[in-house]
Amino acid sequence: MKIRDIKTHVLSKPLDKPFAFSMGWVNQRSSMLVELTTDDGLTGWGESLCHGLQPPQIAASIVQHALKPIVLGQDPFDVDVLWERMYNQTRAFGQKGAVPNAISAVDIAIWDCLGRATGKPIHKLLGGAYRTQVQPYATGFYRYRQGADIADAVAEARRHIDAGFKAMKLKIGFGLEEDIAYVHSVRQAIGQGYQLMVDANHAYNVGSARRLLKAIEPAQIHWFEEPISPEDIDGYRELKNSTDIYLAAGENEFTKIGFREWVSRRAVDILQPDLCSAGGFTECRKISALAQAWHTPIIPHVWGSGIGLAASLQFIATLPPSPLGLSPIEPILEYDQSDHPFRQALIFDALRIEDGMVNIPTGPGLGIEVNRDILDQYAVAH
């Protein structure tokens, strides 16, 4: 079997109601998808994570100009060799950010092909699933106007609870006083029965984050995600030793080389690599092994379309709980609930919450099918 072609699909749609997180306004939802075909007629799909402020055309251009020439005509079963070639041949202008982001999409598409070639879901090819379903948590609570609106946040929390969520993550990073009041108000409104996390998208420095951690500890926050810049690993170490709230980060880190520093320096309690950005299955299984060796749990970052969601579920299935006992601490699924015109439509609404859980897809490859009408509907020039 040989890789015959790689197409990139750039999808984008302006949002009817743009929303803000601590770094800026998200005016559109976009995806960069890779469609890989083989000489015996198989098709595999992959996705690059597209952050709220990220133009999807960048990853598409890297796939077309830098990665496609490396993998065309190659055997997809040589996926490890192909990954290292892609990384090594882009090292001088890659290593972090858009290049591993693009490599991830190609790698995921290759694994989807391998699954379809063998008739197995990707988690079987990676050594098997530790679980058949995963508990989702709701990511949302973005801002639609300036300032915190407690009534809006409480109404959103109620919607998530009604949808079956038992855990949810608040967006903070809008100033210490505002954040502290917001977190306590939401906790008070929803009560103690639900897991609450907060995410500042690296809006603070060590001093202000330490003050914030102390002030929100009484609200029983499960983890504080990206309190400070991803470049400040020593800052994370300082914060981790100052609080009972778990520290989490990783969506802005890439490859086993990048994660080596976070893991070996014990910078966080929870690592959050994004499969569609940190390097795809080939690299994230190595990041998982690193994390296991340092006894650090992984709860992946997920913010893509249905393809990224399905891929992340395949990866989550393979994460070993540590320790593996009768009541293991299980990974949970980040399930973005913010506006996205084609997140579910792209995969025929295949991944829904049932009885508070999301099932790991068991069909070949990623375990989902792609709706080509949606590709046409949201395609933009690139």
Distance in Å, CB of 66 to Ca ion, minimum:
27
- Which of 199, 232, 253, 283 touches Ca ion (CB under 5 A)? 199
The nearer residue to Ca ion, 86 or 198, going by C-beta atoms, is 198
Residue nearest to Ca ion (CB): 199
* Contact window for Ca ion (CB under 5 A) among 46-54, 198-206, 307-315, 352-360: 198-206
The nearer residue to Ca ion, 203 or 368, going by C-beta atoms, is 203
> Among 281, 278, 195, 272, which residue's Cα sits nearest to residue 236?
272
CA distance 147 to 168: 20
Distance in Å, CB of 91 to Ca ion, minimum:
27
Distance in Å, CB of 319 to Ca ion, minimum:
18
Contacts of 91 (CB under 8 A, 6+ apart): none
- String marking each residue 153-192 x if it binds Ca ion according to CB under 5 A: ----------------------------------------
CB atoms within 10 A of CB 305: 30
The answer to whether the CB of 225 falls within 8 A of the CB of 197 is yes
The nearer residue to Ca ion, 179 or 199, going by C-beta atoms, is 199
E strand map for the chain: 3-21, 24-38, 43-48, 133-134, 136-139, 167-171, 195-199, 221-225, 246-249, 270-271, 333-336, 358-359
The nearer residue to Ca ion, 112 or 199, going by C-beta atoms, is 199
| Sign of torsion over alpha carbons 128, 133, 137, 142 | positive
The nearer residue to Ca ion, 201 or 282, going by C-beta atoms, is 201
* Contact window for Ca ion (CB under 5 A) among 10-18, 196-204, 276-284, 318-326: 196-204
Burial, 85: exposed, middle or buried (Cβ in 10 Å; 0-12, 13-18, 19+)? middle
Helix (H, G, I), strand (E, B) or coil at 108: helix
Distance in Å, CB of 139 to Ca ion, minimum:
7
301 among known catalytic residues = yes
* Contact window for Ca ion (CB under 5 A) among 10-18, 31-39, 159-167, 197-205: 197-205
Instruction: Say which of 51, 123, 301, 340 is annotated catalytic.
Output: 301
Q: What is the DSSP annotation of 349-372?
A: T----BTTBEEPP-SSBTS----H
Residues that are catalytic: 301
* Binding-site ranges for Ca ion (CB under 5 A): 199
